[in-house]
Structure formats: structure tokens, C-alpha cells
Amino acid sequence: MTHHPTQSPQFFLTAPSPCPYIDGQFERKVFTHLVGDKASEMNDLLTQGGFRRSQNIAYRPACESCRACVSVRILANEFEPTRSMRRVLHDNTDLIGDIRDAEPSNEQYSLFRKYLDARHRKGGMSDMTVLDYAMMVEDTHVNTKVIEYRRRGPDSFITGKGRGELIAVALTDIMADGLSMVYSYFDPDLDERSLGTFMILDHINRARAAGLPHVYLGYWVNGSRKMSYKVRFTPQEHLGSKGWERYVPDAV
């Protein structure tokens, strides 16, 4: 039996399963485990190479007949919000994002459950229990944070924290070259706030303030309505056969 050194990751391939984005297609993924004292460095390298993280696993599509999934990252330092995005920022000036260690709470799960039941009732995460949620948040060997968004309280400018009800959450990896938005969710009853857009805009501002050039959004699938929002945040780069290249909307 061959023994591999602990610092060398082993990669595995999943069996084909129905694609959640394109009817009639089947997806496969290549994955490896992110463990040990080099997990953060490995996560950085793999994310830059088109992988995503889920708990302590990094994965990337490896479909046999389709290349529709494209890794996307926003160029934070060059980004300028559109008029509608500026309106979203203005509509949410009463919110504060409090960055915390990756620890789950009952309040988070209640909001997460409400979000899934309203937006993704038939999705792959629809049957997640409170224990599943806790694993999603805390099963990480990299620098992961939870950002909780709440309305400002009377002492928010002193404490830097909101005091209102929890209305949105982002699970985020802090990398050497950017922020990677692993998963985010929000109160589905507050559609008028466009909280999904707001959290991405907030991450762009956080990356810029920290001197980090990128915000990683995961995969964009051309033609998928679920993914169409990702290409609104320009300028951005897409990972292709020649590496990361600037996205030109008219070319798609």
C-alpha cells in the first residue's frame, strides 16, 4: 500500500449525479480534504484554482461533457456600484455587520431554516437539521468567519454592533488575496432590501478596506437564472483555460 505524506492532498472523484442547474446534464466533482496546519494555504491555492469549500472539503466541477460552471471573482479595488446598487446600500444604512468566529447559534439556524423553506424548499439543503447547520459553520480548518447583519441599536456607534433582530448572515473565508463567500442567507420577508446584493456589496467594501483585491463568488452558470446575479458585479474575472481573465459581458 502506498503511503502519501500528510502535506500532499489526495483527490477523489464523485459518481455522476443529476445537475441542479442544467436539465438533462449530470455533474461530477473532484474533491479533497482541507485538514492540518496547511489547510488555509491549501484553501487559498485551490480557491484560486477554481475550487470551492464546503466544511472541510474543497471541490470543483469535473463534468465529462459540460464546462458551464465558471469560477467568478470581483475586482474589489476597481469596483464601482451601479445606481441600483447605490440604492441598495442606501436602503440598508441602518444595518451593521458584526464579524464573529465561526460558531453556530439557534438564532442563525432559525433564520437559515426560514430562508430555505421560502427559497430552496426542493434544494439539496432543504432537509438540513440544526446539527447539519452546525457542521456547515464550524467544521472548518481555515480562517472562517460569520458576519451577522442586524439593525443598528442606540449604542451601535460605540460598540460597533447592531442590537436588532438577526436578518442576514454570511459564512466567509478570509484568504490571502480576498474574501470567499461560502454561503449567505437572509430573511425572505425583506425582499425590498435586496439583502443578497447588499451582502456582496458589503464584502467588496470589507475586502477593499483590508487591502484584499478579490471577492470570490463561487460558480456562475451561463443561462441559469439562479446564478445570473453574479455577473452584475463588475469588473470581475472568470477562470478559464488560460487562467483568470477579465469578463467582457458582450462576449457572452
Q: Which contacts (CB < 8 Å, 24+ apart) does range 163-168 have?
A: 166/107, 166/108, 166/111, 167/95, 167/111, 167/193, 167/195, 168/95, 168/111, 168/195, 168/198, 168/199
Do residues 168 and 205 both lie within one domain? yes
Same domain membership, residue 95 and residue 29: no
In-domain check, residue 3: no
Predicted TM-score (pTM) of the model is 0.90
111 shares a domain with 44: no
Of 50, 68, 86, the one marking the end of a domain is: 68
Predicted pLDDT at 9: 82
* Residue 30 lies inside a defined structural domain of this protein: yes
Instruction: Tell me which H or E stretch contains 106.
Output: helix 106-119
User: Per DSSP, what are the bridge partners of residue 119?
Assistant: none
Instruction: Verify that 77 and 55 share a domain, yes or no.
Output: no
- Residue 6 placed within a domain: no
Q: Is residue 112 part of a domain?
A: yes
Is 63 among the domain residues?
A: yes
The verdict on residue 131 lying in a domain is: yes
* Same domain membership, residue 125 and residue 61: no
Residues 59 and 78 in one domain: no
Q: Are 58 and 46 in contact (CB under 8 A)?
A: yes
Residue 17 burial by CB count (10 A; 0-12/13-18/19+): exposed, middle or buried? Answer: exposed
Task: Answer for the pair 207, 171: CB distance below 8 angstroms, yes or no.
Answer: no
Domain tally, the chain? 2
Give the domain-ending residue among 30, 45, 68.
68
Low-confidence ranges of the chain (pLDDT < 50): 1-6, 251-252
| Domain end residue (candidates: 68, 84, 110) | 68
Q: Do 235 and 123 share a structural domain?
A: yes
pLDDT at 123: 63
What's the domain range around 39?
12-68
Q: Do residue 35 and residue 148 come from a single domain?
A: no
Whether the Cβ atoms of residue 140 and residue 172 lie closer than 8 Å to each other? no
Q: Are residues 227 and 246 in the same domain?
A: yes
Residues 73, 207: Cα–Cα separation, whole Å: 12
92 and 196 co-located in one domain: yes
